[in-house]
Amino acid sequence: MGTMKKIIVIIIVAATILNIVVGAFLFLDIQQMNIPETTLTIELINITADEAILDATLLIDNQNSFPIFLQNLEMTTIDDNGETVNHLSMDGGEVKAHENRTFTSAVSIRFNGSPPTHLISRVTGTFGTMFLGMIKKTFPLKFQMKVSLNDILNEFSLPQIHLAANFSEITQEGINFTGIIEITNPNTIDIAMENLSANVNTETGILVGTVNIQDEKIPAKTTKQLTGSGWILLKALDAETLQMTLAGDIVIYVAGIRKSMNLSLKADIIPPSLELLLSDLPTEASLTGDYSYTLKDGLHDTITFTINNPNKLTLLAKDITVKIYRVDGTKTRLISNGTLPDGLIKPQSTTELQGDMFIPLTQLWPRLGERFIPDQLKVILRSNVTIQGFNQTIWIGVIGYQDIAIHPFS
């Protein structure tokens, strides 16, 4: 029994001495502990109208022959004005000997006012080692990293904008005009179009119309069509080309920042066509004649040109030409050619324009193959219809067939 006790005592003493010796060597090794190589990487992974999301990666490379542990890791991010924009805690842990370990965390940042040119991220904490839970040695960990933000707004792409125009109703005061703006936002952040207005000028610079367009927000990766209505002057009808100039502001919303940029865009548009403007309200016309006869003047035809104008503006019939043919079976022959005076066509009413045509006896007298009295007279009237003082015209043609009902000429 005594021998056994002696053996146990010897083992305990030996283990204690060994532990003291190993601990002494470890203590000396700890005194020579290498500071771990630390790399902090910050990458922008997403940006929205409300915030910027950064990925913070902390890489610890332990070059020591014993494991180390990290604890109390904190990262504080400040802007170039010294204002704290983010503070977070990172989970620590053990890094084995001659190995490395990565610690990651998402950083959410929201700016106020102007965007900073850079951020400074400061990492603090402690690192150290333990041996059998008895020896503990810790060192402070502290370093910082500067991150440039100059590229955040530089990567913004201007929206794609297409301009178009639509002309509809025409009145004596002007032409109803609709400006159409198609906007595509190719960015991952929302934008807004504000203070939009469009001016319409002729090729000589004369302002003929203005239209205001309501503000609109364009979400990321979407296309919207904006419209605004107004009136342009009738003088736009005579322009060779019209130029629409869009002005306003493009507003960027990024990570809590509202940044405005001026917008100016020009596009050539085709002037409105009078014929197309009136095409929805066709102008109807008819032709009648009243004949009388004398031996001296021949056949006198009082022609009545009746035209219905359903539009809201006064039109002008000009360059009115009349041709009269005698019809004998399938044969026709021109027997008179003349003009009628110009006349105004009142808005939203029916107007009658009259004129006199004379057919000489020498033309009326039958030729070979013709009957003594023609079957009918064929009257063709052609006229240009326009707005008084303007150049654009609409061509109108009317054909009428009339039996000869001759009355004495008084």
Domain count, the chain: 3
Q: What does the pLDDT read at residue 114?
A: 64
Tell me if 313 is assigned to some domain: yes
pTM: 0.61
Residue 125 is part of a domain; what is its CATH number? 2.60.40.1470
Residue 196 is part of a domain; what is its CATH number? 2.60.40.10
Residues 401 and 299 in one domain: yes
Residues 303 and 399 in one domain: yes
- Which of 89, 119, 154 terminates a domain? The answer is 154
Residues 243 and 301 in one domain: no
Quickly count: other Cβ atoms within 10 Å of residue 176's Cβ: 17
- Which of 154, 172, 205 terminates a domain? The answer is 154
SS3 71: strand
Phi and psi at residue 66, in whole multiples of 5°?
-140, 155
Tell me if 249 is assigned to some domain: yes
Q: What does the pLDDT read at residue 406?
A: 54
Residues of the chain with pLDDT under 70: 1-33, 112-115, 130-137, 143, 145-155, 279-283, 404-410
Tell me if 229 is assigned to some domain: yes
Taking only the tens place, the pLDDT of each residue in 116-132 is 777 788 888 887 776 55
Q: What does the pLDDT read at residue 136?
A: 65
- Angle formed at CA 239 by CA 236 and CA 242, multiple of 5 degrees: 80
d(CA 161, CA 366): 70
Tell me if 20 is assigned to some domain: no
Q: What does the pLDDT read at residue 28?
A: 44
**Which residue matches tokens 């020498």?**
362
Q: Can you spell out the DSSP letters for 126-157? A: EEEEEETTTEEEEEEEEEEEEEE-HHHHHTPP
d(CA 406, CA 410): 12
Tell me if 335 is assigned to some domain: yes
Residues in the chain, total: 410
Residues 166 and 268 in one domain: yes
Q: What is the mean pLDDT of the chain?
A: 80
CA-to-CA dists, residue 91 to 70, 75, 86, 379, angstroms: 9, 11, 16, 100
Residues 266 and 330 in one domain: no
Taking only the tens place, the pLDDT of each residue in 155-203 is 678 899 998 888 888 888 889 989 899 999 998 888 899 999 999 999 9
- Angle formed at CA 39 by CA 135 and CA 35, multiple of 5 degrees: 30
Phi and psi at residue 379, in whole multiples of 5°?
-115, 125
The residue segments making up the domain with residue 384 are 284-408
d(CA 31, CA 106): 35
CA-to-CA dists, residue 140 to 49, 77, 96, 170, 373, angstroms: 38, 19, 19, 81, 126
Cβ neighbours of residue 192 under 8 Å, at least 6 residues apart?
Answer: 215, 216, 217, 218, 250, 251, 253
Tell me if 202 is assigned to some domain: yes
Residues 126 and 58 in one domain: yes
Phi and psi at residue 89, in whole multiples of 5°?
-105, 140
